[in-house]
Amino acid sequence: MKVAQVQPNEYASYYANYVNQVSDEYSLTEELEISVHRLVKFVQNIPLDKFDYRYAEGKWTIKDIILHLIDAERIFAYRALRFARNDKTALASFDENMYVEEAHANQRSIQDLLSELLVVRQATLALFKSFNEEQLLRIGTASNNPMSVRALGFVIIGHQNHHQRVFEERYL
């Protein structure tokens, strides 16, 4: 399954930016696997003095963003699990700013954060590999919007790609 197959009615319009940042070259599971290694390699080449840098007052550091990616991926994967299992319960949104504030990413090493990112992605990858076609097409409600299981997978990838571009444009 590739990103071009995902229809706009499978996700909230504010996720379009993320979905549009995913290449149609690979399948969902292939891109879940490839993209995390691309990000880790990219981050490992960032100078050490940049990890705690903020390009403006109140903006997140690179460490904050990496932990934000981890938290968001966990939440998106949880939503995908609920929807794939045909759970019709509407799921609430989350306040990413509060999560970053409470996570204390800057007290951790970059290697610790990257290790956690890889572990979380392995769990996400195993989860998405376990879904059949019917489950991938299921739609649930999150943040008062419809969301398909497959769209959640592509949002995870596109969200990561978005933040990698932010690193390139504003942090380096």
What are the pLDDT digits (tens) for 116-167? 999 999 999 999 999 999 999 999 999 999 999 999 999 999 999 999 999 9
Which residue segments constitute the domains of the chain, with CATH numbers given?
22-171 (1.20.120.450)
What pLDDT is recorded for position 150?
A: 98
pLDDT, residue 101, reads 96
* Best CA proximity match to 3, nearest among 153, 147, 163, 160: 153
**Interacting residues of 30 by C-beta distance below 8 A, sequence separation 6+:** none
Give the pLDDT confidence score for residue 30 in this predicted structure.
98
- Residue whose C-alpha is closest to residue 97's, from 116, 76, 71, 74: 71
Q: Do residues 67 and 165 lie in contact, with contact meaning Cβ atoms separated by under 8 Å?
A: no
* Global pTM value: 0.97
By C-alpha distance, which of 139, 170, 64 is closest to 108? 64
